[in-house]
Amino acid sequence: MTDNNVKKWYVVRAVSGQENKVKAYIETEISRLEMEDYVSQVLVPTEKVVSVKDGKKLVKEKVYFPGYVMIEANLVGEIPHIIKSITSVIGFLGETKGGEPVPLRLSEVNRMLGKVDELAVNTDTHAIPFNLGETIKVIDGPFNGFNGTVEKINDEKRKLEVMVKIFGRKTPLELSFMQVEKV
């Protein structure tokens, strides 16, 4: 084998909620020690989560695997020790006590990276989360708190026509998918 610097993907366990800090710490430490040749990528798989607050659409990055940071590295010499000694790092996933970190299989890596790409692209094209005749609850807007029945689904506009009982009379409302939730 001529190329001794073969990088594989490993999963570093981190304190949940500290994934991005851990990524930054690892990157800082690697560049400080000039070891970029051995650690090429540090990745926190995230997905975009869309929510509605006060009628405004908010897109937030949510960590897809809380407590895990992916790292592409050639773990030679001191590198595993350096990574493990970083603040908020618990250790490597799959290592036995005192044993070597276990790299991810290529299929797992592709699945995780594929998932990350897919989530980055498909923010608005997921399946319709509602069915006709289903009872839903309005969670945003002037009819917040009312329950209703799904009468029509407009997937292109991502809107629902919901029949809501207001003062004993059925009233049709057009609401976006974000303004309702399943009961």
Residue 86, domain extent: 8-121
pLDDT in tens, 69-112: 999 999 988 899 999 999 999 999 876 666 778 888 888 887 77
**What's the pLDDT band for 24 if we cut at 50, 70, 90?**
very high
Instruction: Give the domain CATH number at 106.
Output: 3.30.70.940
Domains: count for the chain: 2
CA distance 44 to 65: 8
The answer to whether residue 1 scores a pLDDT higher than 50 is: no
Alpha carbon 87 to chain centroid, angstroms: 22
Report the distance separating Cα 59 and Cα 52, nearest Å.
Answer: 9
Which of 13-17, 59-63, 130-134, 148-152 is least confident?
Answer: 59-63
Question: Highest-confidence range of 16-20, 111-115, 163-167, by mean pLDDT?
Answer: 16-20
CA 26 to chain centre: 20
Q: What is the pLDDT of residue 39?
A: 92
Digit-coded pLDDT (tens) for 78-90: 899 999 999 999 9
159 has pLDDT over 80: yes
**Rg (the chain; Cα; Å):** 23
21: phi then psi, degrees, rounded to nearest 5: -65, -45
Q: In this structure, are 50 and 94 located in the same domain?
A: yes
CA 67 – CA 139 distance, rounded (Å): 31
